[in-house]
Each structure stands twice: as structure tokens, then as C-alpha cells.
Chain A
Amino acid sequence: LAKTTQPISMDSYEGQEVNITCSHNNIATNDYITWYQQFPSQGPRFIIQGYKTKVTNEVASLFIPADRKSSTLSLPRVSLSDTAVYYCLVDSGSARQLTFGSGTQLTVLP
């Protein structure tokens, strides 16, 4: 199972772009990279998923370099309501034991 490493915490100000990088050195060929967001006392919520290059949706972008050993979640113009824990995980096809890791606590300041 691929292990992920993320920063424990990050601070940002409202209106800024935030980039959270995750490393997954032993990612396998068929693995996908998925990001979830979690608010206190709630379950995680899917943000975005990708396999390679760049994926964009209405809330975020995901950049994955060619070697796929890392990925970067980009949140454009964050607001106070984006304060949450962000988890990067590698979806392994062989046995879906999703490992969420410790996540990154993002705090958006006014």
C-alpha cells in the first residue's frame, strides 16, 4: 500500500491561492490520487481525483508530475470556510484499504 506524506498544517489568508503537496514515492502503476476535505465532526468529502498531469473541477485543481511520486492540490482564492483538514490518499486497486494518513490542517485567516 502506498504511503503518503503531507505537511501537518498550513496557514493562509483569505483570497490567496493555497497549494498543498503530498508525496507518494511508492505509488503503483494503476493507483489514482484522491483528495478529501474534512470539517470537524463530519465525514470526509471528496474534492478531486487524478491519475496524471492536471485535473480541474469547480473547487480545485490537482497537479501530478510525470513521475507521479507527488501531487499538489491547489485551492484558488480560499475563504474562511475552507478551513479544514485535507487528506491525500492513494487508491490502490488490488485491495481497497484506503489509508488516509494524518492530513493537512489548513487554517484560513481573515
Chain B
Amino acid sequence: KAGVTQTPRYLIKTRGQQVTLSCSPISGHRSVSWYQQTPGQGLQFLFEYFSETQRNKGNFPGRFSGRQFSNSRSEMNVSTLELGDSALYLCASSAGQSYNEKLFFGSGTQLSVL
């Protein structure tokens, strides 16, 4: 089985721009969650999607949004980028049937905002 795929691997943007990141989950997985990782704040939960619906949301501003398609692929969008948005963005997938399921993470998208 192919693992979780995130694209692009690296991204450089400037302040004020917007960015869209993509995540393809493991085949058959219906839950996709997103995380932001920075050296200062660690790994922080952004949101989770299940069957095209946002099921959980972390404490991030509205500039961070996401969506999930019928094939379970998910996209995350950040608008009006700020320098502090520079981070490794990780997505994880799971079957989504029970709360203590193992999460499978992708390698992430490293976003640099200049």
C-alpha cells in the first residue's frame, strides 16, 4: 500500500500570498488531519476532515482552511501569509472509525515565507 503523499515537498512564498498544500491519504482511509510543526511551538493540530466534513478544528485563525474531496484527498489553504506561517505542515490519515486509531503521517510540506 502506498503511504500518505504530500505535495509539494518544499514551497517558498512571500508575505501576503496564499498557498495550497495537498495530501493524498492511504487508500481506504477516510480521515485526514493536518498539523503545523515549528521549532518553537512543536506539533499543533490544525483540523481534521472525515467524509468531506470538518470534524475537529484546532486554535488557528480563519486564514487557515481546508477541504476534503470525495476520494478523501485533502487540501489545506493558507491565505495572506505571514512570516510566522513558516513551518513544516504535516498531514496524517486514518480509517476514521475509532478515536484511538493509529495515524499515518506524510513527510510534510516545508513552507518558507519570506
A6 to B: closest C-beta gap in Å: 11
Chain B binder among A18-26, A72-80, A87-95: A87-95
Instruction: Tell me if A43 and B107 are in contact (CB < 8 A).
Output: yes
Q: Report the interface size for chain A: residues with CB under 8 A from the other chain.
A: 23
Total contacts A-B at CB 8 Å: 59
| Chain A interface, >50% SS class | loop
What residues on A are CB-neighbors of B58 within 8 Å? 97
Q: Which of B48, B56, B105 has the most CB of A within 10 A?
A: B105
Instruction: Tell me if B33 and A98 are in contact (CB < 8 A).
Output: yes
Instruction: Tell me if A99 and B45 are in contact (CB < 8 A).
Output: yes
Q: Which residue of A lies closest to B41 (CB)?
A: A102
Instruction: Tell me if B102 and A41 are in contact (CB < 8 A).
Output: no
Q: Which residue of B lies closest to A93 (CB)?
A: B99
What residues on A are CB-neighbors of B33 within 8 Å? 96, 98
What residues on B are CB-neighbors of A34 within 8 Å? 100, 102
In Å, the complex CA distance between A46 and B4 comes to: 14
Assuming the contacts A97-B56, A98-B33, A100-B42, asked whether A43 and B100 have C-beta atoms less than 8 A apart, the reply is no
- When the two chains form the complex, which single residue of B4, B43, B100, B108 contacts A100, counting CB atoms closer than 8 Å? B43
Give chain B interface residues in 28-81, CB to chain A under 8 Å.
33, 35, 42-45, 48, 55-58
- When the two chains form the complex, which single residue of B35, B100, B103, B108 contacts A93, counting CB atoms closer than 8 Å? B100
Assuming the contacts A42-B108, A43-B4, A96-B56, asked whether A91 and B43 have C-beta atoms less than 8 A apart, the reply is no
A28 to B: closest C-beta gap in Å: 11
By Cβ-Cβ distance, the 5 closest A-B pairs, closest first, are A43-B105, A100-B43, A93-B99, A32-B100, A91-B100
Interface residues of A (CB under 8 A from B): 32, 34, 36, 41-46, 49, 87, 91-93, 95-103
Q: List 8 A-B contacts (CB under 8 A).
A: A42-B105, A43-B108, A44-B92, A45-B105, A93-B99, A96-B33, A96-B48, A99-B45
Interface residues of B (CB under 8 A from A): 4, 33, 35, 42-45, 48, 55-58, 88, 90, 92, 99-100, 102-108, 110
